[in-house]
Every structure is written in C-alpha cells, then in structure tokens.
A and B are shown apart, each in its own frame.
Chain A
C-alpha cells in the first residue's frame, strides 16, 4: 500500500537549473510533506493540453518550516514534458500530486547497502543515500550511464565526498569503471569475498534490463534486492491501471500497478 496520504497541491518554483542533461528543481508547496525514499510526485506546469499528462518525478528531498513546505527534484530531460519543465523559471506555478507510491524499505538488521542507479534512475536512489547518511549507515553508490556526460554532476551525489563510496560506470569507459553497472557490481562482489562476508542489500532503479541483470546477479548470492521500476503512467495514484507490471506473489501472479503497489518491488516478485 502507498506510504502517506497523497495530496494535490499548487506550488511555485523556487529554482530550476540544469547541468548538462540533468536538472534540479525546488518547489515551494503549501505544507510540509514527509516521504519515503523511492516515492514520487506527478508534476505538470506547462500551459495547454499537449502534453496532456503530468510527469512522474522521484522526490529527492523535502523540507520546510512553520507549515510551509518545499520539495526538490533531480530529473533528466527525456521527452517533451520534461523539456517543458526544464524551461520553467523561478516563480512559475506548478501542480503536484504527492507523495505517491510505495518506496524503499529499510529493514532494521545491520547491513551494508549498495545503491544502484542507472541513467536517470539515480534520482530515485539519491534520497535513499540521504536517509542512510542520516542514519550513519554503511552504503556505497553505483551509478551507470552510457557515457560520461550522462552521469549526474559529482557535487549532487549524496555522500560523494567519502572516498570509495561512489562507483561510476560507463558503457564506453569515458568515466569510472569500463562496463555496465551489473559488471561493476560483479567486480565488487568478488572483492567482497576476499574481504570477508557482510550482509548486504541492494536498492536499484534504472532501465529494466539493468534491474534484471542486477537481480540475476544478486539473488543467487542471497543478496536481497529492491527494484524501483519505471513505467508510463497516466494518473500516478492507482486509478488508470495503465502502468502495471507482471508480479508473482506466492501462488498468485498478476498485474500490479507500478504507481501504487510499486514503484519499489522486491526483485524476487518481479516477472522479468
């Protein structure tokens, strides 16, 4: 079930600036909201009916004082909707439905966390990093992209200043590990074996092929994986049934809504 009760609010952009293909946007909203890392907002702010539907953006941070709230997003310009969003300025109005979906879970046992982001999927794992940093938990971040310029700016990465904490991977080898994020994880698992076992759990968001590869790598090693799935959504709060994915749930299987029962699922349940 969704965590927290969603609200539809009108906000005002405080700042919206880009670095390469990525943007950071902070929005003033009428009240402070709490969210679980992995939860998202449906956002629209452009005039007219084309595009018609709001865009799902992972919530990066929320804050605010004295009944006033703010919410921050890190997003990538992917299509027309996000291109229009990136053209908005401080003071422009925005409509938001938030917080939505079922986010990452952080079971209490002591463990290390590996946070895996592919492409714009990093925006969903960053708030998990912020939360784990707040708990002084042990975590490492793996960020994958095709090329160097498709990686997020280093200064945006939570905890990035800690040596050895952030592993960048590029398919073309222009930055960090030469290869996919799954290959980098394989490398890390091999090194872990040589340094002794520790309980580790993976939180991942990115393209479906990446999530599948990470799942197939980790599950046989008894590493628990939570995956945040991406899907085309119309509503974002469970009424259109457009965003479903096939899930196995014990004996039962069927289509579950990415926006409501997800976007975060236990990787063992996902029928890839």
Chain B
C-alpha cells in the first residue's frame, strides 16, 4: 500500500499565493480574531476582514437581519471600527495569529477610498486590498460607483494609483452585464475580481405593514443565491484574464468545488460562518478529501475544467 499523496491546495490570486483556495468573506468573519476560539485562523487561505472606512461607522438602526428561505437579508450598514483602529489594534494580532489577511474597504467618496487604501498600504503583512464597490445597504457603500462600468473604472483606477498592494474589486450582482463590469475592473488595473456581493432584496410584515429591515431593503445571501452566483462567476471567468474569486451561498466543500470548476481561482465563504463557525476549515478539509478520492494532485489540475459538451 502506498500512502495517499497530500494534494497541493495552494491557490494563486495574481501575485498573492494562498495556502488553499478558501477565504472568509468580508462582513461574515468580523476581524478574524472572533474565530480564534474555534480554530487556528492561519489554516485559511485568507481572512477578509469586515469592510473598513476612514472613520468609525455606526451602521444602520436595528432591525438589520431577516431570515428568508435558505438565506438571509442583511442591512448592517457597514458598522466598523475605522481604518486607524484596524491598523493599530487588529492587524498586529492577525500577524501574531499567523493569518494571511486582506482588508475590504469602502468610502463615501473616491477620496475616502484612496485615503483608506493609502493607510492600509503601510501594513506590511496585509496581503491585498479588496475594494467594496457593491454594498447595497448604504448610499455610500460603493454601489453608486460599482453599478456601471464607467463608475467602477474611475474608482478602480484612482484606488489602483493610491496603493501598491494587490487590488481586488468586489463586484455587485445587481447589474445587467457582469462580464462588462468585470472587464471594466480589469482594464482599470484590478489584480482580481470578487463576485458576487449580496443581491438586493426586501421583506415586509403583512400585519404591521412595515418593512422588516430599518433600511427597507437589504442584501440577500446564503444558499438561496448560489445558482445566480455560480452563473455570474462562470460568466466573469470567460470575460476577464485576471483571477476571479467566487462567492455566494457556499455552504460546504461541494459548493466550493462547483465554483472552482467553473474557473474561480479561489472562493470566499460568508453566511455559512454564521451557521457553523468551523465552516471554512471544514471546506478546506472537504476539498482535500475530494482531491484524495479523485486522485487530483493539484488545485490547478481541477480549476476551470468544467465540461460544457462531450
């Protein structure tokens, strides 16, 4: 009997080499440290921290979340501690934890995006900056910039010039042509695109006649959106040459493998973290087990190998 070969799960997103293709999604993983009671967060491909703005942000009034069939709506409103506290208090602890980490950023204006990116450029271990051009829950969440190719291109170009860090651009699904949006990010200098962010949705209470979210609308996430996300990731993979990071409704290793199969360079896991704090590491282990069973030795041998016709 020969020992099974441990597959090489390392994933390359542009110049960033990840030990495996599984990352936590921004907004579903706090600042990463909240998960250290559950497991060693350095086991993840990367931790994407909660969206950071120039100044601390209070977020939206409650109610902020509503459960929906196989999903949830959220309208948190990007409550966060601001970039300074992240740089001074959180980043050193992520360094100590040995984590690979990426900062998701947003601004009310392009100048604020630039300022946050510049400040984060001073964090040596920060692997990349993920530009949130797609939060549906605040007017300033970037969707104004990210919902059309021209706006996204302008924002990406300016932030690209403000930082030497790898720049990933997180795209909105609330557009008619995801390929055109992804191409706009690529042409403006993005090193990768991440998709999809949440889909705008709504819930109302028939008795009180009021919206269930204080913000009226919110972002839908969870398994309910996976087919839409998978289709959009597949389309984006065909539209651009830069790496595509797949996200949307991934609950287990099987879901993650589907995104890798359509061409995603890596994946992010979001809402599943709420249901199972160990979701991300269980997905890493599940991908490894699948590769062992299927005798796949490298992630690159599997990624993008979807068979569209015989």
Residue positions of A touching B, CB distance < 8 A: 5-8, 44, 49-54, 95, 97, 231-246, 254-255
Q: List 23 A-B contacts (CB under 8 A).
A: A49-B222, A49-B251, A52-B223, A53-B72, A95-B276, A232-B63, A232-B65, A234-B67, A234-B72, A235-B273, A236-B274, A239-B30, A239-B35, A239-B274, A240-B27, A240-B28, A241-B50, A241-B59, A241-B76, A242-B65, A243-B65, A244-B79, A255-B58
Q: Can you name the residue of chain B whose Cβ is closest to the Cβ of A238?
A: B34
Q: Total contacts A to B, CB within 8 angstroms?
A: 93
The answer on a CB contact under 8 Å between A234 and B69 is no
Smallest CB separation, B258 vs chain A (Å): 15
Smallest CB separation, B49 vs chain A (Å): 11
- Tell me, yes or no, whether B74 is within 8 Å of chain A by CB: yes
- Tell me, yes or no, whether B278 is within 8 Å of chain A by CB: yes
Q: From B28, B63, B64, give the contact of A239 (CB < 8 A).
A: B28
Q: Can you name the residue of chain B whose Cβ is closest to the Cβ of A54?
A: B275
CA A246 to CA B276, docked complex, whole Å = 27
CA A143 to CA B238, docked complex, whole Å = 62
Smallest CB separation, A174 vs chain B (Å): 25
Q: From B50, B74, B79, B276, give the contact of A234 (CB < 8 A).
A: B74
On chain A, the residues within 8 Å of B70 by CB distance are 49-50, 52
- Tell me, yes or no, whether B62 is within 8 Å of chain A by CB: yes
- Annotate B132-171 by CB proximity to A: 1 below 8 A, 0 otherwise: 0000000000000000000000000000000000000000
**In the A-B complex, the 9 residue pairs with the closest CB atoms:** A242-B65, A239-B30, A235-B274, A49-B70, A234-B274, A5-B37, A242-B64, A49-B223, A8-B277
The answer on a CB contact under 8 Å between B74 and A240 is yes
Q: Can you name the residue of chain B whose Cβ is closest to the Cβ of A240?
A: B274
On chain A, the residues within 8 Å of B278 by CB distance are 8
On chain A, the residues within 8 Å of B223 by CB distance are 49, 52
CA A6 to CA B63, docked complex, whole Å = 25
The answer on a CB contact under 8 Å between B79 and A241 is yes
- Tell me, yes or no, whether B271 is within 8 Å of chain A by CB: yes
Q: Can you name the residue of chain B whose Cβ is closest to the Cβ of A245?
A: B62
The answer on a CB contact under 8 Å between A50 and B30 is no
The answer on a CB contact under 8 Å between B277 and A237 is yes
- Among B28, B65, B74, B278: residue with most chain A CB under 10 A: B65
Q: Can you name the residue of chain B whose Cβ is closest to the Cβ of A239?
A: B30
B interface size (C-beta, 8 A): 36
CA A54 to CA B279, docked complex, whole Å = 14
Smallest CB separation, A261 vs chain B (Å): 13
CA A226 to CA B221, docked complex, whole Å = 35
Smallest CB separation, A256 vs chain B (Å): 10
Smallest CB separation, B39 vs chain A (Å): 9
CA A236 to CA B59, docked complex, whole Å = 18
On chain B, the residues within 8 Å of A44 by CB distance are 275
Q: From A54, A237, A244, A246, give the contact of B64 (CB < 8 A).
A: A244
Q: From B59, B69, B271, B275, give the contact of A255 (CB < 8 A).
A: B59
CA A269 to CA B99, docked complex, whole Å = 36
- Tell me, yes or no, whether B29 is within 8 Å of chain A by CB: yes
- Annotate B9-36 by CB proximity to A: 1 below 8 A, 0 otherwise: 0000000000000000001111000110
The answer on a CB contact under 8 Å between B62 and A231 is yes
- Tell me, yes or no, whether B71 is within 8 Å of chain A by CB: yes
Contact of A239 with B34 at beta-carbon distance under 8 Å, contacts A52-B275, A53-B67, A232-B66 already known: yes
CA A97 to CA B64, docked complex, whole Å = 22
The answer on a CB contact under 8 Å between A234 and B65 is yes
On chain A, the residues within 8 Å of B58 by CB distance are 254-255
Smallest CB separation, B160 vs chain A (Å): 29
The answer on a CB contact under 8 Å between B71 and A52 is yes
Given contacts A44-B275, A50-B70, A240-B274, 13 further A-B contacts (CB under 8 A): A5-B37, A51-B67, A52-B72, A232-B66, A234-B271, A238-B30, A238-B34, A239-B28, A241-B76, A241-B79, A242-B64, A242-B76, A246-B62
On chain A, the residues within 8 Å of B66 by CB distance are 232
On chain A, the residues within 8 Å of B76 by CB distance are 240-242
Smallest CB separation, A57 vs chain B (Å): 15
On chain B, the residues within 8 Å of A232 by CB distance are 63, 65-67
Smallest CB separation, B271 vs chain A (Å): 7
Smallest CB separation, A49 vs chain B (Å): 4
On chain A, the residues within 8 Å of B29 by CB distance are 239
